[in-house]
Amino acid sequence: MTTLDLLLTAVSNTFRSKTRTILTVLAIFVGAFTLTLTSGLGTGINAYIDDTVSAVGSSDTMTVTKASDDAQGLGGANPGPAEYDPDTVAAGGFGAPGATVVALTPDDVTTLEGVDGVLAVQPTEALATDYVEGESGTKYVVSASALVPGQQLTLTAGAQPDDDATDLQVVVPT
């Protein structure tokens, strides 16, 4: 059988069973659509994860905190309330509910600067705002936070905050 005979037989069989041909073509289209949709969904999810991770901090930054000596929260050694310590702050979204974090001292910062491979140590301060008030006297509830040097925010418009600026800067999140 020659190649021409094979092609003629295939074409004649295609038109002989039209239902099977239509179902086969539909199956090919459904398969191609499914592969395209899955690929696009995977790309979108990967982009979302990349944007979320990059918004957390810069790629060469490590956040260091000092845990309280008196463990609190879930699984803590002391089930009762902790005694007030002015050097501790509530951990907020980090750690177990009710956990505290001890503020780093200048000696702690010096120790971190002495670690091999550490290029720079820059302490950041946690901000807690109840409200902000403008000239009109209207109070607005907002959250404020300091940025880690090199951190990039996800912006709809505008420019990233300048780490070297001396003026205060405001970024409205998306």
26, burial (CB in 10 Å: exposed 0-12, middle 13-18, buried 19+): exposed
Residues 6+ apart with CB under 8 A from 122: 149
Is 136 among the domain residues? no
Count of domains observed in the chain: 1
Other beta carbons within 10 Å of 68? 20
The per-residue pLDDT of the chain, averaged, comes to 79
Question: Alpha carbon of 156 to those of 43, 60, 171: distances in Å?
Answer: 20, 25, 11
Is 22 among the domain residues? yes
pLDDT above 60 (res 162): yes
State the pLDDT at residue 97. Answer: 52
pLDDT bin (cut points 50, 70, 90) of residue 4 is: very high
* Cα gap 149→162, rounded to integer Å: 9
Other beta carbons within 10 Å of 88? 19
pLDDT tens-digit readout, 65-109: 776 655 544 445 556 666 666 666 555 545 555 555 677 888 988
Q: Which structural domain range is residue 38 located in?
A: 3-56
Is 38 among the domain residues? yes
Q: How many helices and strands, by DSSP H and E, does the chain display?
A: 3, 5
Is 70 among the domain residues? no
pTM value surpassing 0.85: no
Greater confidence (149 vs 158) lies with 158
Is 33 among the domain residues? yes
